[in-house]
Amino acid sequence: MFVNFLSNMEPKKSSEALKDSYWINAMQDELNEFKRNEVWRLVPRPKDKTIVGTKWVFRNKKDEAGIIVRNKSQLVAKGYNQQEGIDYDETYAPVARIEAIRIFLAYAAHKNIKVYQMDVKSAFLNGILQEEVYVSQPEGFVDPKFLDHVYVLDKVRYGLKQAPRAWYETFSIYLTKSGFWKDVNDG
């Protein structure tokens, strides 16, 4: 029954999505997540700063049977406009070597430990930004009272060059406070 409240279409552009109430709801859910996580603040456009654009990305999430269970919209930053040394200092890709995963799984199997896989919803929204980054208001959701304003980010967004690094730093601090420690080889 829930499938009757979802869109079968997967829009390619914001203009297409903004004609469909189901996608508008999905976009609003994303923006509500920003508000809940205190991701950004609306401020007057600074004169001497680069403004990174934003773009909506749309996906229909399906279950094992291929039935659409959710319309997911994601607001991403157009990070390809960022310049190293100006908008960010370094990039980073948090990856795990296959050997580490195999050792972990072998150890868990040996000790009869249950292992769970999970998808972290809005993981990057929890990464704290060190740099000052401004993004444009998202298409379809520009505040009519503040047309000349932009958002200053307090937390990272998908698409920013520094997003993986900021998320990794936040996650590492949490794990360390929870009693875990880094291996000396992790750097």
pLDDT, tens digit, for every residue of 114-170?
887 755 555 666 677 778 889 999 999 999 999 999 999 888 776 676 777 777 788
Q: What pLDDT, on a 0 to 100 scale, did the predictor assign at position 61?
A: 84
Q: What pLDDT, on a 0 to 100 scale, did the predictor assign at position 159?
A: 66
Checking if the pLDDT of 81 tops 80, the result is: no
Q: Where are the alpha helices (DSSP H) in 12-150?
A: 14-17, 21-36, 98-110
What's the mean per-residue pLDDT of the chain?
80
Checking if the pLDDT of 76 tops 90, the result is: no
Tell me how crowded residue 147 is: count the other CB atoms within 10 A of its CB: 9
User: How does residue 2 score in pLDDT terms, banded at 50, 70 and 90?
Assistant: very low
What does the pLDDT average to over 38-61? 90
Most confident region among 4-13, 37-46, 176-185 by mean pLDDT? 37-46
Rg (CA), the chain: 20
What does the pLDDT average to over 24-53? 91
Q: State the pTM of this model.
A: 0.69
Pick 98 or 87 by higher pLDDT: 98
Pick 162 or 45 by higher pLDDT: 45
Please name the residue that has the structure tokens 């291996």. Answer: 183
* Distance from C-alpha of 52 to C-alpha of 160, rounded to nearest angstrom: 9
- ∠ CA 89-130-174, nearest 5°, is 115
* Cα Dmax for the chain: 61
User: How does residue 31 score in pLDDT terms, banded at 50, 70 and 90?
Assistant: very high
Pick 65 or 157 by higher pLDDT: 65
